[in-house]
Structure 1
Amino acid sequence: MPRPKTKKELVELGEANYRSLLNFVRELPREELENEFPPGYLNRNIRDVLAHLHHWHLMMLEWYKVGMSGFKPDMPSKGYTWKTVPELNRKIQDTYSNVDLKVVKDSLEESFENLQEIIAQHTEEELFKKKHYPWTGSTSLGAYFISATSSHYDWALKLIKKCKRQLA
């Protein structure tokens, strides 16, 4: 499906890509869930990938909270710029490196639901009109949600499949 342009498409693609990712992970045998990815990948295993998604959900929720209260959020995160996202992603990986996969999955589910609730509260215009909210700059709120949801889930599933193939 192409990049969402409506609220319905945003919700449907986010849900579809999220469920595809979780279903793929659920069907893997336990040992494959714990396998380390091949060298050269920041995220070392499935837990790392799911934790990465969860943390980016949390950042999106924070941007939203700060932005909707009339302030400019620290994007992508305090102390980081878009150019230093690789460093931020390393910090995220370190943060969750000792967290159990089940805890990560439960956290991801909760943060996913929180994002869906926020999306549901907005009209199509609020989501897709560029510059509707000052804190989103020259883009739309929907563009941020697409990046934090459907596009990110697609990336995650492709990464996991690629690493699984390389290990086979």
Structure 2
Amino acid sequence: MARPTTKAQLINAAETEFAKLLDLVGSMGESAASVPLFFGPGFAGKEAHWARDKNLRDVAVHLHEWHRLLIAWVNTNQAGDAQPFLPAPYSWKTYGDLNMEFWRKHQHTAHADSLRLLGESHRQVMELIDRFSDAELFTQGHFAWTGTTTLGSYCISATSSHYDWAIKKIRTHIRASARKA
């Protein structure tokens, strides 16, 4: 799927990838909620998320928390309180620590609750996106608080691109688990 450049494309990509994610999770059955993610014997992915996310709940709450970041950031800036996307003390160099904070926060969240939270925050992000025009979403510099990146780019990162990441991760688990069986 090409990277969206219009509001309609953004909405379509986000909804399409979210539906694919939910279908994939649904295809795994109820037992998938308690099964640890397995990526293959001796698998050692380079990125921290491969070791961080132990189950589907961890993936779902990760997506949910990044939705919440986007929503809070947009609403705060729209209210006139200029804030960076990442909350202090985090930066793009230390956002992995923020991801670990999210992981720790949700270690007692039930699998079903994680999916409910993800569904709710997805809906809220889609409502947020719908408030903006094509120009507001995709004109560089339209909002001073987005810096050199468009608001639409942040929305893509928090929705369709992030859903694609989760889908790839879950598919890796499914393939490795099938080979193991």
Cα distance, 1:53 vs structure 2? 0.2
Q: Give the equivalent residue in structure 1 for 2:157.
A: 147
Superposed CA offset, 1:111-154 (max 9, x none): 11111111111110011001101110011110110000000000
Tell me which amino acid in the other structure corresponds to 1:96. H
**Overall identity of the aligned pairs, in %:** 35
Cα distance, 1:28 vs structure 2? 0.9
Q: Give the equivalent residue in structure 1 for 2:167.
A: 157
Question: Structure 1 residue runs of 4+, over 3 Å off?
Answer: none
Does structure 1 residue 102 correspond to structure 2 residue 102?
no
Tell me, yes or no, if the aligned pair for 1:47 and 1:104 is still in contact at 8 Å. yes
Does structure 1 residue 35 correspond to structure 2 residue 45?
no
Given the alignment, which residue of 71, 75, 82 partners 1:72? 82
Cα distance, 1:69 vs structure 2? 1.6
Tell me, yes or no, if the aligned pair for 1:75 and 1:82 is still in contact at 8 Å. no
Q: Number of residues paired by the alignment?
A: 168
Tell me, yes or no, if the aligned pair for 1:71 and 1:135 is still in contact at 8 Å. no
Tell me which amino acid in the other structure corresponds to 2:101. K
- Kindly report the root-mean-square deviation, in angstroms, between the aligned alpha carbons of the 2 structures: 1.3
Q: Give the equivalent residue in structure 1 for 2:23.
A: 23
Secondary structure of residue in 2 paired with 1:5: coil
Which residues of structure 1 form unaligned runs of 5+? Answer: none
TM-score w.r.t. length of structure 2: 0.88
Q: Give the equivalent residue in structure 2 for 1:88.
A: 98
Q: Give the equivalent residue in structure 2 for 1:55.
A: 65
TM-score w.r.t. length of structure 1: 0.95
Superposed CA offset, 1:34-74 (max 9, x none): 21123752111111000000000000001101111222224
Which residues of structure 2 form unaligned runs of 5+? Answer: 44-49
Does structure 1 residue 121 correspond to structure 2 residue 131?
yes
Tell me which amino acid in the other structure corresponds to 2:136. E
Cα distance, 1:79 vs structure 2? 1.4
